[in-house]
Amino acid sequence: MEHYYCCCSSTGRMMQQGGMITTAAARLSAASAASSPRFFCKLAAGVATSSKSLHNLSSSSSISSSSSSSVRCSAASSSAVAEQEVPAASVRPVIRRVGRGSKLVGCGSAVPTTIISNDDLSKVVDTSDEWIAVRTGIRNRHVLAEGETVTSLSVEASKKALEMANVNPEDIDLLLLCTSTPDDLFGSAPQVQKELGCCNALAFDLTAACSGFVLGLITASRFIKGGGYENVLVIGADALSRYVDWMDRGTCILFGDAAGALVLQAVGDDQDSLLGFNLRSDGGGQKHLHVRVDNVPDTSHNGATTNGSKTNGTVIKLPARASYDCLQMNGKEVFRFAVRAVPQVIEAALQEAGLTGANLDWLLLHQANQRILDSVSQRLEIPTDKVISNLCNYGNTSAASIPLALDEAVRSGLVQPGHIVATAGFGAGLTWGSAIVRWS
């Protein structure tokens, strides 16, 4: 049976109206609720009730659907009723139903305007178009130009996804920005939210590099299933061109910038697009792929380093100013890891879904290297004509690679409604995971 929650404010304050109070509120005694009704109102996580009780709740006078200037959140006590006024502009009444599935209803993508070809790179480092293409399958990559940012690409991709899904920005409940290269160290998701006009959404960043989008997809589905969210926007966006050593031909040939977005919508369990998943991580592999913080002495204090700065005659040690090293990768070890670990998580996800490789319409891997794509598909015995690849045109776009390739495949008619797609991300951390999805 689905559980229903009635929320009287976008900040999460809940209304009690008969029935049983769950989670945090259930831990409050009646005496506590009576002595602190405002606190009780703020913590109450919802009311588990039947459909009949929900009808009674929606018709209750405790929640008004009129266009008054404020909404009152009431909590009963033994002696009085405390009321808390909430400005009407910040309120969007929501009925939350948990235990539901997630349907993929829209996708979009965006890439920078500047293209760097293999021939262009051959003028900078000792390489050639043939050398790069044979070893990686890459011929071009898009990189940020002046005025372009991870945020701007994310906004562009999201607009296309929302348009395909026929969902208004204000109807988005959650926005996940999967990125390891935000424009702001504190996170760029709220800026994307602002630019899109998703005024009712919670927005935050999720960092898992090339595995980011798969982890974001699973996270979004859990918010729908366990949190009662209706519409979730998942964005994968990265600009690793800002962290590449363009004099290192081992890494600069691989990476490009892009953004891709996907809209998930709550549906009944029988329409769930997420059929199975498996997620893994191993911090022991970080040595093979990383972008580490480099503490640089700060000489801005009267010409002295922070470690020897003086204040009122007292020597103090201040933290060094942080910056980032260029991306470092052991290509051979990452390759070995990917061809061993990725088939395992795909098979585990298929097993959870009750499927085999024969049931798949498409295999969509993180677009890291064509040799990895070929090796994984061979191990899974999936024909090459069922492997989606756009690596040639974009290179490795990290968290953006899966939604970017999916968007192109959907818009070109390659992926059709009802098709089953095995996705898998793998990369820094090390993290890796697979999600088996049905395109809607």
Which residues have a catalytic role annotated?
Answer: 210, 366, 396
Half-sphere CA count of 332, side-chain side, radius 13 A = 0
Strand partners, 365: 424
Taking CA atoms, 289 is separated from 251, 294, 307, 320, in Å, by 11, 15, 30, 24
Q: What six digits make up the tokens of 435?
A: 């999600």
Residues listed for the chain = 440
How far apart (Å, rounded) are the C-alpha atoms in residues 271 and 105? 12
How many Cβ atoms are within 10 Å of 421's Cβ, its own excluded? 24
Checking phi first, is residue 363 left (phi over 0); if not, alpha (psi -120 to 50) or beta? beta
The sign one gets for the Cα dihedral 5, 10, 16, 18 is negative
Element (H, E) at 278: strand 274-281
Q: What six digits make up the tokens of 389?
A: 């690849």
Beta strand residue intervals within 297-372, DSSP E: 310-311, 314-315, 321-324, 328-329, 362-365
Phi and psi, residue 231, nearest 5°: -130, 125
How far apart (Å, rounded) are the C-alpha atoms in residues 318 and 302? 14
DSSP 197-221: T-TT-EEEEE--GGGHHHHHHHHHH
Contact 7, 48 (CB under 8 A): no
How far apart (Å, rounded) are the C-alpha atoms in residues 74 and 308? 58
Q: What six digits make up the tokens of 376?
A: 């994984």
